[in-house]
């Protein structure tokens, strides 16, 4: 960066704040002021001694000294934190928030920041242990001169992230589409396993192929902080209805299964396949086929972004390979005979049904603002839906298999429970639900996080055409 570079301030030194401070420093930003709650000042001073990152006692000091200030606090705390420190913001500076959900951030910034301060917000669409390189970094220019956008882009240049320019409203629509229902599916899988007191890696049903993704991502989510998921589910205006649709899809498909309404179940699954992926019934796309088509009604955000030239560019299919996935299993690979037990894949049938009902075009949203978790989830859905043989056998298993039926019952109960929890809008309830399951899985978190990181890296490398070294994706 040039000699007259901006001073960066970070309020909130949790996982993301720390990651930003270290990466920005390593990327050549000379002056970075940081703070957490005042009680953490002494430990921050010790931790950052000799790094060149400068801890201050509170957000007033950070705000008055910095040209670009990033609030990196819990979504539910953001309003009160901005109310407290916002009035101290340096004249002419630019403010951003790392918050995963932007509706409350927009309101808080408009209300509590002085008028002479610009708002150009950001959101890295990945967790703190994933490399920033190649990942989407959303930039939301809301208030102030256009030159502020260039400043923000320059500050983050060393991240080598892919800049995506959206409005506050577009951000919340895209992230609801990519994150809210995806998290609901994984949270429900975890709750279902916990309620049936079974560790998935201990049963042959969940240790190979696409099941490995289900297990690793579920554990990755439960190993992370509950408030990140609570914030985007409870505070994103579009999230609640989407999560409800997912639970409706799960329940309705399950009723068709247990009532043995074969034709209705088949029609519904094949129609959702065509609507979401654009493949007509029994058509098996060739492996080189590029992005599945956007055949029918697109969601509002899709068409808005298309006008902005952001999407519609298409995206290659993910083409997960069983061989790669098997390397990242938490359990022992079963014998072929055990592996052959068919699965209804209710969580996936319902996901594609839900996308179809909501008019969500997963590949298009992935191309704009996909997270690693979303990419893998689409990859798993694509794997099942791509092959008419596999999909037919999942439908058949849904109607007649009894081995997975208890898991499916638990899954229905869990999906409805999460949907109800989100509809109450209560953070304490969400936390309690989340922690019950997270405590159940916690003995495997360390291993699962490393393994999941390697799995994400291997699949991203595979997508980028790089050899899969399987090295950890953690810093
Ligand atoms: N983790 C992730 O994967 C991602 C998170 N985000 C978003 O980034 C934000 C931060 O998340 P993350 O870093 O994971 O969460 P953390 O809980 O790790 O960090 C938040 C930090 O903010 C601190 N804080 C709270 N109030 C204040 C205050 N008044 N002054 C200074 N610091 C304060 C918290 O302290 P205390 O712990 O004492 O409350 C905590 O250390 C969230 O809005 C999240 O949604 C965005 C992308 C990815
Ligand atoms: O990829 C996901 O969905 C994650 O779970 C990681 C994550 C969490 C919160 C964000 O705001 C962005 C990314």
Q: What is the ipTM of this complex?
A: 0.99
Lowest mean pLDDT among 304-318, 366-380, 410-424: 304-318
322-366 tens-digit pLDDT: 888 888 888 876 665 455 578 899 999 999 999 999 999 999 999
Distance of CA 26 to the CA centre of its chain: 26
> What is the Å distance from ligand 1's center to 177 Cα?
23
Ligand 2 and 130: CB distance under 6 A: no
**What one-character-per-residue DSSP string does 47-108 give?**
HTTTTSEEE-SSHHHHHHH-SEEEE-S-HHHHHHHHHHHGGGPPTT-EEEE--S--HHHHHH
Task: Please report the pLDDT score of residue 339 as a whole number.
Answer: 54
Task: Kindly report the pTM of this predicted structure.
Answer: 0.92
- Quick check: CB of 72 below 6 Å from ligand 2? no
- Whether the CB-CB separation of 91 and 117 falls below 8 Å is answered with yes
Indicate which residue's Cα is closest to atom 13 of ligand 2.
Answer: 126
Ligand in closest contact with the CA of 228: 1
pLDDT number for residue 356:
98
DSSP conformation class of 33: E
Q: Which ligand is nearest to the CA of 127?
A: 1
pLDDT of residue 322: 81
- What tokens were used for 99? 């918050």
For ligand 2, whether the C-beta of 148 sits within 6 Å is: no
pLDDT of 180: 94
Q: Which of ligand 1's atoms lies nearest the C-alpha of 99?
A: 43
CA distance 260 to 280: 24
Query: By CB neighbour count within 10 A (0-12 exposed, 13-18 middle, 19+ buried), where does 290 fall?
Result: exposed
**What is each CA distance from 274 to 185, 261, 285, in whole angstroms?**
21, 20, 12
Q: Given the CA of residue 178, which atom of ligand 2 is nearest to it?
A: 3
Least confident of 74-78, 151-155, 470-474: 470-474
For residue 372 and ligand 2, the question of a CB distance below 6 A is answered with yes
Mean pLDDT, the chain, as a whole number?
89
Asked if residue 297 has pLDDT above 70, the reply is no
Mean pLDDT of 201-220: 86
Which residue carries 């409203």 as its tokens? 169
What is the per-residue pLDDT for 306?
41
**367-381: per-residue pLDDT in tens?**
998 999 999 999 999
**156 Cα to the center of ligand 1, angstroms:** 19
Which pLDDT score, from 0 to 100, does residue 460 have? 84
Q: Is the pLDDT assigned to residue 300 strictly greater than 80?
A: no
- The pLDDT tens digits of the residues spanning 5-62 come to 999 999 999 999 999 999 999 999 999 999 999 999 999 999 999 999 999 999 999 9
Share above pLDDT 90 across residues of the chain, in percent, rounded to a whole number: 74
pLDDT band at 292 (very low <50, low <70, confident <90, very high): low
> What average pLDDT does this structure show over 104-124?
98
Residue-level pLDDT at 29? 98
pLDDT at 308: 41
Provide the pLDDT for residue 283.
Answer: 77
The DSSP bridge partners found for residue 140 are 121
Ligand 2 pocket member 122 (CB < 6 A): no
Cβ–ligand 2 contact at 9 (below 6 Å): no
Range 165-193 average pLDDT: 96
Compute, in angstroms, the gap from residue 231 CA to the centroid of ligand 1: 11
Report DSSP state, residue 198.
-
Whether residue 312 has pLDDT greater than 90: no
Residue nearest to atom 43 of ligand 1 (CA): 99
| For range 291-295, the mean pLDDT | 46
DSSP state of 178: I
Ligand 1, residues 13, 14, 83: which to mutate, most atoms within 8 A of Cβ?
14
Long-range contacts of 453-456, Cβ-Cβ distance < 8 Å, separation of 24 or more: 453/129, 453/130, 454/328, 455/212, 455/213, 455/216, 455/324, 455/325, 455/327, 455/328, 455/376, 456/130, 456/372, 456/376
Looking at the predicted structure, is the pLDDT value of residue 310 above 90?
Answer: no
- Is residue 473's pLDDT more than 50? no
Give the mean model confidence (pLDDT) for residues 126-145: 95
The reply to whether ligand 2 has any atom less than 6 angstroms from the CB of 174 is no
Residues 208, 345, 319: CA angle, nearest 5 degrees: 60
3-class secondary-structure state, position 134? coil
Centroid of ligand 1 to alpha carbon of 13 (angstroms)? 7
Higher pLDDT: 205 or 129? It is 129
Long-range own/partner contacts, residues 306-311 (CB < 8 A, 24 or more apart): 310/164, 310/165, 310/166, 310/368, 311/364, 311/365, 311/367, 311/368
- Stretch 234-258: mean pLDDT: 97
pLDDT: is 69 or 331 the higher one? 69
Q: What pLDDT is recorded for position 159?
A: 98
Instruction: Give the strand pairing for 53-55 and 8-11.
Output: unpaired
């Amino acid at each position: 960066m040039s000699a007259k570079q901006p001073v960066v301030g970070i309020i909130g030194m949790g996982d993301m704040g720390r990651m930003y401070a270290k990466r920005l420093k390593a990327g050549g930003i000379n002056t970075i002021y940081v703070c957490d709650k005042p009680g953490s000042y002494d430990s921050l001073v010790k931790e950052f001694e000799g790094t060149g990152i400068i801890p201050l006692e509170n957000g007033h000091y950070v705000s008055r000294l910095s040209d670009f200030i990033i609030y990196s606090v819990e979504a539910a705390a953001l309003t009160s934190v901005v109310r407290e420190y916002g009035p101290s913001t340096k004249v002419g500076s630019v403010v951003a928030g790392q918050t995963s959900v932007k509706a409350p951030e927009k309101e808080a910034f408009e209300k509590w920041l002085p008028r002479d301060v610009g708002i150009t917000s950001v959101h890295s669409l990945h967790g703190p242990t994933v490399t920033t390189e190649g990942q989407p970094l959303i930039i939301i220019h809301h208030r102030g001169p256009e030159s502020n956008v260039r400043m923000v882009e320059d500050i983050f240049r060393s991240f080598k992230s892919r800049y995506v320019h959206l409005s506050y409203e577009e951000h919340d629509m895209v992230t609801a589409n990519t994150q809210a229902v995806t998290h609901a599916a994984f949270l429900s899988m975890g709750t279902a396993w916990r309620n049936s007191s079974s560790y998935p890696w201990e049963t042959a049903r969940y240790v190979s192929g696409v099941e490995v993704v289900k297990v690793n991502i579920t554990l990755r989510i439960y190993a992370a902080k509950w408030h990140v998921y609570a914030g985007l589910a409870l505070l994103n205006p579009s999230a609640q209805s989407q999560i409800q649709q997912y639970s409706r899809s799960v329940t309705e498909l399950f009723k068709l299964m247990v009532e043995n309404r074969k034709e209705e179940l088949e029609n519904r699954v094949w129609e959702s396949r065509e609507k979401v992926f654009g493949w007509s019934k029994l058509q098996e796309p060739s492996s080189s086929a590029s992005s599945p088509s956007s055949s029918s009604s697109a969601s509002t955000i899709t068409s808005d972004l298309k006008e902005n030239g952001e999407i519609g560019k298409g995206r290659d299919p993910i083409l997960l390979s069983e061989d790669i996935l098997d390397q990242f299993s938490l359990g022992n690979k079963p014998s072929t005979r055990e592996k052959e037990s068919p699965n209804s894949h209710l969580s996936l049938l319902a996901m594609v049904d839900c996308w179809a009902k909501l008019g969500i075009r997963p590949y298009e949203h992935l191309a704009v603002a996909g997270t690693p978790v979303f990419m893998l989830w689409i990859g798993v859905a694509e794997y099942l839906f791509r092959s008419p043989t596999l999909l037919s056998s999942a439908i058949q298993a849904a109607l007649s298999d009894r081995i997975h039926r208890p898991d499916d019952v638990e899954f229905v109960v869990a999906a409805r429970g999460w949907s109800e929890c989100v509809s109450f809008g209560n953070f304490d309830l969400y936390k309690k639900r989340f922690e019950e399951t997270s405590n159940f899985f916690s003995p495997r978190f360390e291993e699962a996080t490393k393994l999941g990181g390697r799995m994400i890296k291997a699949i991203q490398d595979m997508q980028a055409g790089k050899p899969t070294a399987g090295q950890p994706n953690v810093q």
